[in-house]
Amino acid sequence: MPYHPVKKKIIPRASDRLAAPELSHLPPLLQRIYTARRLTSERELDRSLAKLPSPWLLSGMEAMAARIADAIRKNQRILVIADYDTDGATACAVAVRGLKLLGAKRVSYLVPNRFEYGYGLTPEIVALAAQSNPDILLTVDNGISSLEGTAAAKARGMRVLITDHHLPGPELPDADAIVNPNLAGDPFPSKNLAGVGVMFYVLSAVRSRLRAAGHFARTCPPAQAGAEQPNLAQLLDLVALGTVADVVPMDHVNRILVHHGLKRIRAGQGQLGLLALLEVSGRNARLITAQDLGFAVAPRLNAAGRLEDMSLGIECLLTDDADAAVRLAARLDQLNRDRREIEEQMKLEAFRYLEDLDTSLRTGPSTPLRTGLATKAGLCLFDDSWHQGVVGILASRIKDRLNRPVIVFASTDGDEIKGSARSVPGVHIRDVLSDIATRSPHLLRKFGGHAMAAGLSLHRDDLARFTELFEEEVARRSADLDLDHAVHSDGPLEAHEMELEMAELLRQAGPWGQGFPEPLFDGEFDVAQSRIVGDRHLKLLLRIPDSEKLIDGIAFFVDEPTDWLACRRLRAVYRLDINEFRDARNVQLRMEYMESCD
């Protein structure tokens, strides 16, 4: 069966640890799930905003808040320099909206077009920014590696304030203030804030400083006498979106931020553009989950940065006009459809190339081969025709298929190629690139990123050398890792647990995400009925083991779904999901992996 090209190992999450006494009031299933995720205290279940750590724990916050507060009081021009992914777009929208809430009158933004200027605060972007004569350049979700751009801005008399969460290099920019939880020695307890989370924290500190100086009491209109400060919580829907989209670990701090953002969206209090994006993607805002933000809203925003200009996405998040929000969301939805077509063509080309290298991709799950690609620790692919805005998605798709770190390159103008890297747990991809840069100092022109994703550029003639070093470095780092395909499960569910009430409980027990994964379960089922819906989805009616009870199942985007119609028994790893259709809500199993037991 070709649902997955290589048979996966189903690995149970650690369940031998005893649940902490503090969790004993929870249902046994939830105790098991939380314990497997090493959540052991009642404190970690508390998602109140009061449990967020102080913004003043971030190093550099005193200088950052002082300079922004001073700029607001002096009515200076603040230009936000954004990034062209969803984290960057939401961070930009949070910065612009938040600064205006705090009293800034002259705030604008500039987002680099990835095809013309590339990433971050470059000297070219500084020259473009200078046309609007800003007093301050405020970066969001970028800047920590922008040494040349920072120097260029300061040479023009601008102040540079950097908010970022990417890992810093050996040298920091000479900025007027830097806030980044990943700076060496930074005492902030969470190193996992997304760029939008960092900006939200900066606004909180600026508000505190302005409040202490009596700023709001002086500027508050008489009709609002007694109002001490703006409510920054109205920005949490955007914080939630950017945090989920950037796939940062869902630690306690991020769970709090995302939880409250989701609450606002469900209550109909989200930004008009975000609500319009949910509508155009067919999601019900009242029932929104973190997964809906990641798989429905974020791709539509990212499509703007991938194919055109992320300013389109930012404008969607900034508009307070309902009609404009609908128009912008429709345009983003169309760009996402265009992106899918481009991606599908690139994926077909990539897998044809991979099949030429290794026949293991053409075998069934019961006969995986250990030759060719299966022996490579990492993989680099390049084609002159590939779209540089879509290589990141393609790298992710290939990484998922091969369970190996992957870099996909596309050409740019001139002799440069740009690559987007995606990795697997245990192989820190930015550190891989850093070690390559140390071994061959002039090989990489630029690079940066996270543990799981990174970007780089190099001369096309250097690709062969880079590929060799990449495979060597990844092999060294993955020597003790099991790179066979695996899926982790929280074990089987009993028949009485496969109920709507339990599905609701699991939905509310999150938010789930990277590092705090949504519960998955496994089991064998008899297939009572199966049919194809849409082009590639499989609708199932399954009989629960040791029971006469039947339950619905759904598998999305199945390769060759007709091959499954003859299957009479299967083993599956699944989510306990809720199917919401019209006014009906029913429990269903959402398949993440299947294999035939026939």
Kindly give the interhelix angle for 272-280 and 236-245, rounded to the nearest 10 degrees: 50
> What is the rounded average pLDDT of the residues 138-149?
95
Which pLDDT score, from 0 to 100, does residue 358 have? 57
Task: Summarize pLDDT for 327-355 with one digit per residue, the tens.
Answer: 999 999 999 999 999 999 998 888 888 87
221 pLDDT higher than 70: no
Other residues' Cβ atoms within 10 Å of the Cβ of residue 40: 16
Mean of pLDDT over the chain: 90
Q: Is the dihedral of CA 34, 37, 43, 49 positive or negative?
A: negative
Q: Could you tell me what percent of the chain has a pLDDT over 70? A: 93
Which pLDDT score, from 0 to 100, does residue 449 have? 80
Q: Is the dihedral of CA 381, 387, 167, 235 positive or negative?
A: negative
CA–CA distance, 16 with 428 (Å, rounded to integer)? 29
Antiparallel, parallel or unpaired: β 136-140 and 521-533: unpaired
CATH classification for the domain delimited by 9-36+490-596, as one of 3.40.50.720, 3.40.1360.10, 3.40.50.2020, 2.40.50.460: 2.40.50.460
The three-state secondary structure class of 310 is coil
CA–CA distance, 219 with 148 (Å, rounded to integer)? 39
- Interior/surface letters 407-426, b for 16+ CB within 10 angstroms, e for the rest: bbbbbbeeeebbbbbbbbee
CA–CA distance, 453 with 421 (Å, rounded to integer)? 5
- Domain covering 53-333 assigned CATH 3.90.1640.30 in the classification: yes
> What is the rounded average pLDDT of the residues 106-122?
86
Which pLDDT score, from 0 to 100, does residue 375 have? 65
Q: Vertex 354, ends 349 and 356: CA angle to 5°? A: 100
Which pLDDT score, from 0 to 100, does residue 228 have? 65
15 pLDDT higher than 80: no
Q: In 48-172, where does DSSP find H-type helix?
A: 61-73, 86-101, 123-129, 147-155
Which pLDDT score, from 0 to 100, does residue 372 have? 54
467 pLDDT higher than 60: yes
Q: What are phi and psi of 467, to 5 degrees?
A: -60, -40
Which pLDDT score, from 0 to 100, does residue 583 have? 77
Q: Is the dihedral of CA 424, 427, 429, 430 positive or negative?
A: positive
Task: Summarize pLDDT for 484-493 with one digit per residue, the tens.
Answer: 778 899 999 9
Which pLDDT score, from 0 to 100, does residue 16 have? 58
> What is the rounded average pLDDT of the residues 468-496?
88
Which pLDDT score, from 0 to 100, does residue 113 have? 81
> What confidence tier does 208 reach under pLDDT thresholds 50, 70, 90?
very high
> What is the rounded average pLDDT of the residues 87-103?
97
* Sheet containing 453-459, strands listed edge to edge, beginning at the edge strand earlier in sequence: 379-382, 406-411, 416-422, 453-459, 444-449
Which pLDDT score, from 0 to 100, does residue 374 have? 59
Tokens 């809906």 locate to 292
Q: Which of 38-42, 118-122, 359-363 has the lowest mean pLDDT?
A: 359-363
29 pLDDT higher than 50: yes
6 pLDDT higher than 70: no
- Interior/surface letters 365-404, b for 16+ CB within 10 angstroms, e for the rest: beebeeeebbebbbbbbbbeebbbbbbbbbbbbbbebbbb
Element (H, E) at 550: strand 550-555
> What confidence tier does 18 reach under pLDDT thresholds 50, 70, 90?
low
Q: Where are the domains of the chain?
A: 9-36+490-596, 53-333, 358-477
Task: Summarize pLDDT for 406-428 with one digit per residue, the tens.
Answer: 999 999 878 899 999 999 888 99
Q: What are phi and psi of 132, to 5 degrees?
A: -95, 5
> What is the rounded average pLDDT of the residues 181-198?
97
Indicate the fold that domain 358-477 takes in CATH. Answer: Diaminopimelate Epimerase; Chain A, domain 1 (3.10.310)
Task: Summarize pLDDT for 45-65 with one digit per residue, the tens.
Answer: 999 999 999 999 999 999 999
Task: Summarize pLDDT for 277-291 with one digit per residue, the tens.
Answer: 999 999 999 999 999
Q: Vertex 65, ends 64 and 70: CA angle to 5°? A: 105
The three-state secondary structure class of 334 is helix
For residue 164, give the nearest of 258, 77, 83 by alpha carbon: 83
Which letter does DSSP use for residue 20 in this model? Answer: P
448 pLDDT higher than 50: yes
Which pLDDT score, from 0 to 100, does residue 546 have? 82
Q: What are phi and psi of 303, to 5 degrees?
A: -60, -35
Q: Which residue has the higher pLDDT, 486 or 525?
A: 525
Burial class from Cβ neighbours inside 10 Å (0-12, 13-18, 19+) for residue 168 reads middle
226 pLDDT higher than 90: no
For residue 529, give the nearest of 558, 566, 578, 555 by alpha carbon: 566
Which pLDDT score, from 0 to 100, does residue 222 have? 46
Antiparallel, parallel or unpaired: β 78-81 and 107-110: parallel
